[in-house]
């Protein structure tokens, strides 16, 4: 059968009212851990592991209103290790703490943040079907137990999921169980401790804030954070007029449009079946790359990672995971 190969460019590149990261039970926790230095624009609001805001302008954080409500002017927040005083808390004018809708707020600092690049907000039209990445800190557990018995070690984690629906206020995702159709490589949802954590959508190699972790729920018999539970992020695109009326957002970073030539050749067994693929590309010195595989261009599985670019041609051999050989896509992503 013919193999369809995608020649890809560079890709950068996841209840109660307190949402963090609940992970798959069949993966080691180390797969989800990330360094704080990878996300200097994320700011702990109340204490470590209790609410997060994201720097979207040199003077503004974006978060959920039910977290911003616990702040006061004069509070000090650490941004990448440097303290900054809060000058103003600006919840959406229609937010009501007794309801879930309009759960979005800005926090203004008394002086501009230095040395940290603000992250861009998403301005697309339809998030449904998109892969999102949530990055948060707080209680953690697996989907077998969810929030029940979860613990908080203060470490930062990221997980992925696929948007199943959107409405006028929220992005909805569902926690699939290993083996279920639609599960992602780092499947996870929010839980207690990380309300406000960003949900990113990647476009042309740039990660945009599309959602803010707000709340979660489960159908009958399913607790928050368990497999089958739903997680909801405030849908940022629905509040662009309000946000733009307050903040003069910086121009988003431009993607690296330099093409990456991805050469792929197939090695076959005497029977004609696929044995392995040889993937070649040129990586920039000092940058690291990952080779990823997909059957639908929505969920991507890392096949090799931490490949150091040298400026010369790099060749790696991979054995494709079990997928439909008629729908096999590959891409190279800068880590």
pLDDT 10s digit of each residue in the chain, 335 long? 333 333 333 333 333 333 458 999 999 999 999 999 999 999 999 888 889 999 999 999 999 999 999 999 999 999 999 999 999 999 999 999 888 899 999 999 999 999 999 999 999 988 999 999 999 987 899 999 988 888 888 899 999 999 999 999 999 999 999 999 889 999 999 887 779 999 999 887 789 999 999 999 888 889 889 999 999 999 999 999 999 999 999 988 765 545 556 788 888 888 877 778 888 887 776 678 888 888 777 778 888 888 887 767 788 888 876 655 556 788 888 87
Q: CATH classification of 21-37+120-239 is 3.40.30.10, yes or no?
A: no
Output DSSP code: residue 134: E
Q: What is the pLDDT of residue 261?
A: 62
- Residue 235: closest CA among 83, 59, 26, 92: 92
Say if strands 188-189 and 313-318 run parallel, antiparallel, or are unpaired. Answer: unpaired
The closest of 289, 283, 286, 277 to 314, measured between CA atoms, is 283
* DSSP, residue by residue, 58-84: TTEEEE-HHHHTT--TT-EEEETTEEE
**pLDDT given for residue 117 in this prediction:** 96
CA distance 224 to 271: 49
Q: pLDDT, tens digit, for every residue of 179-229?
A: 998 899 999 998 877 799 999 998 877 899 999 999 998 888 898 899 999
Domain range 39-109, CATH architecture: Beta Barrel (2.40)
Q: Report the pLDDT value the prediction gives residue 293, as an integer from 0 to 100.
A: 84
Beta bridge partners of 277: 266, 318
CB-based contacts of 251, cutoff 8 Å, min separation 6:
none
Two structure tokens written together for 34: 């990330």
- The predicted pLDDT at position 20 comes to 54
Backbone angles phi, psi at 93, to 5 degrees: -60, -20
Strands 21-23 and 188-189: antiparallel
Q: What pLDDT was estimated at residue 288? A: 84
Cβ neighbours around 2 below 10 Å, total: 7
Residue 206 belongs to what H/E stretch? strand 206-217
Helix or strand or coil: residue 132?
A: strand
pLDDT at 71: 97
What per-residue confidence (pLDDT) applies to 255?
59
Task: Please give the pLDDT value at position 14.
Answer: 30
Instruction: Look at residue 7 in the predicted model and tell me its pLDDT.
Output: 37
68 phi, psi to nearest 5 deg: -60, -25
């Amino acid at each position: 059968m013919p193999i369809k190969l995608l020649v890809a460019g560079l890709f950068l590149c996841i209840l109660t009212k307190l949402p963090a990261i609940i992970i798959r039970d069949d993966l080691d926790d180390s797969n989800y851990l990330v360094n704080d230095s990878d996300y200097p624009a994320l700011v702990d609001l109340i204490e470590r592991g209790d609410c997060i805001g994201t720097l979207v302008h040199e003077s503004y954080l974006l978060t959920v209103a039910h977290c911003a409500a616990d702040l006061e002017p004069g509070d000090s927040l650490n941004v990448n290790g440097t303290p900054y005083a809060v000058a103003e808390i600006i919840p959406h004018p229609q937010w009501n703490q007794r309801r879930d809708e309009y759960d979005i707020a800005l926090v203004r600092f008394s002086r501009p943040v230095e040395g940290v690049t603000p992250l861009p907000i998403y301005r697309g039209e339809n998030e449904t079907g998109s892969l999102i990445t949530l990055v948060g800190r707080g209680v953690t557990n697996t989907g077998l137990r969810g929030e029940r018995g979860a613990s908080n070690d203060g470490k930062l984690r990221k997980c992925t999921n696929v948007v199943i629906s959107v409405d006028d206020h929220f992005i909805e995702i569902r926690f699939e169980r290993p083996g279920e159709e639609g599960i992602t490589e780092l499947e996870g949802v929010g839980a207690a401790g990380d309300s406000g954590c960003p949900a990113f959508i990647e476009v042309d190699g740039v990660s945009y804030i599309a959602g803010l972790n707000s709340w979660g729920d489960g159908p009958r018999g399913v607790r928050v954070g368990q497999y089958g539970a739903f997680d909801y992020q405030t849908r940022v695109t629905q509040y662009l007029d309000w946000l733009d009326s307050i903040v003069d957002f910086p121009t988003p970073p431009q993607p690296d449009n330099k093409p990456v030539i991805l050469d792929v050749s197939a090695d076959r067994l005497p029977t004609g079946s696929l044995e392995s693929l040889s993937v070649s590309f040129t990586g920039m010195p000092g940058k690291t790359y990952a080779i990823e595989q997909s059957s639908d261009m929505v969920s991507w599985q890392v096949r090799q990672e931490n490949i150091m670019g040298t400026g010369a041609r790099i060749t790696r051999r991979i054995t494709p995971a079990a997928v439909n050989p008629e729908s096999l896509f590959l891409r190279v992503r800068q880590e």
